[in-house]
Structure 1
């Protein structure tokens, strides 16, 4: 009786082994503003494909520097389109793999309900001690914040009150802990399932700064990695799109 089931068992073992071989890991550098949606996408990606995405979050400029210094990232999700384009011209990405995965929204936010009005007039009144932004030299959302203040003619007046975070996550931490009364952050940080999670906010009109087009690309180290290609295709799919939209991004 035992020998009759041996071929079946052997087939099952081969099938399981085949799945194990096909499953892989992909090292992903992700802009800090995209932390929450990418964590959700990575979980769904693993469930649907078996591949595991290992995520590292940070300011786009700092991630760029790490890539140039040999970090083992295979896919890069930036907070702008310029940095992936630069890597492309420098030969550090897989040709043709770059695409826009999201368009970000800048928001002026306070953890205090009613503190920020829906027209951003709080900035002109100046009744606050600290305004948090991400480092404009390395974080595109920080650059968009500076551009907004410049367009409003308020940069010089508010400059002494600026508290600069290393990235957009740190800027958010300054505000959520009320070390800064308000700050320019990514809408995605205070939105989930299409709803604002609390506090008060002014969604910054897009004409006050350059569009925050967020591009992704397969890096040179991911050229021969099936999991890297699979993740990029997954990001273009309907399930990822629904998650991205639920955090306030446009596509």
Structure 2
């Protein structure tokens, strides 16, 4: 019996050593709106595969500039579908690896309970000093926020009160700290498993803005990294998809 357990220990150690020998480090550029889901997915990916993940979160437009200037990212999870396609067309990404990993939703949110009504009428009433939104030039959720304001005929009315975040994370911080009474953020930042995590919110009807199709792509620097290739496949699996759904994204 002692010999049996000893053999098992040797086999387990051998397996762990083999796994460690083949484990790779993967560098990801991830759209800021996808921070919480990706942190959870990365944790599960590391446990399931042995590969290690380094995450950088930010605005899609800024990541594009960094990637085209040689930043060492191997996988890119964008907040739109245009930027990955552009990288692919410019031979910065591996053709055939691009796919939509999530479809985002925009929400008007306030950290104060009862402040934002269920129809978004608070926007027309204008009883606020500041409204936050992400930079529409670099952040797709910011562009969607501007589309929404224009569709509602309110863009000019609220322009002087806009506080602009560098990305959707900073925009959320403006609202959560009270520097802006309300703001447009990603649904995933304030909802979990279909429940509002705090404050008050209006989920903006999809008719007010263009679909936020979020694409992922394998970048050239990750072409020969088994960990990067494995991550692209993992994002398409049921475990990752379940996590993505739980944060309010559509697939």
TM-score (norm 1): 0.95
Aligned to 2:96: 96
Deviation at 1:153, TM superposition (A): 0.6
Deviation at 1:16, TM superposition (A): 3.6
Give the Cα–Cα distance (whole angstroms) in 1 for the partners of residues 237 and 18 of structure 2: 25
- Greater displacement, 192-201 / 153-162: 192-201
The RMSD of aligned alpha carbons is 1.7
SS at match of 1:164: strand
- For this pair of structures, how many residues does the alignment match? 247
Q: 1:7 to 1:124 in 2, by over 3 A?
A: closer
Runs of 4+ in 1 over 2 A off after TM superposition: 6-17
SS at match of 2:178: coil
Give the Cα–Cα distance (whole angstroms) in 2 for the partners of residues 249 and 138 of structure 1: 21
Aligned to 2:129: 129
Specify every segment of 5 or more residues in structure 2 that has no aligned partner in the other structure, as ranges. Answer: 1-5
Aligned to 2:158: 158
Tell me if the contact between 1:194 and 1:245 (Cα under 8 Å) persists in the aligned partners. Answer: no
| 1:159-193 per-position Cα deviation (integer Å, ceiling 9, x unaligned) | 00000000000000000001000000000000123
| 1:218-237 per-position Cα deviation (integer Å, ceiling 9, x unaligned) | 00000011001111111101
Give the Cα–Cα distance (whole angstroms) in 2 for the partners of residues 16 and 199 of structure 1: 46
Give the Cα–Cα distance (whole angstroms) in 1 for the partners of residues 239 and 10 of structure 2: 36
SS at match of 1:174: helix
2:230 matches 1:250: no
Give the Cα–Cα distance (whole angstroms) in 1 for the partners of residues 160 and 38 of structure 2: 34
Deviation at 1:22, TM superposition (A): 1.1
Specify every segment of 5 or more residues in structure 1 that has no aligned partner in the other structure, as ranges. Answer: 1-5
Deviation at 1:8, TM superposition (A): 9.2
Aligned to 2:3: none
Aligned to 2:168: 168
2:139 matches 1:139: yes
Tell me if the contact between 1:110 and 1:200 (Cα under 8 Å) persists in the aligned partners. Answer: yes
Deviation at 1:52, TM superposition (A): 1.2
Aligned to 2:241: 241
| 1:83-110 per-position Cα deviation (integer Å, ceiling 9, x unaligned) | 0010010001111000000000000000
Tell me if the contact between 1:88 and 1:95 (Cα under 8 Å) persists in the aligned partners. Answer: yes
Aligned to 2:36: 36
SS at match of 2:215: strand
Give the Cα–Cα distance (whole angstroms) in 1 for the partners of residues 14 and 187 of structure 2: 47
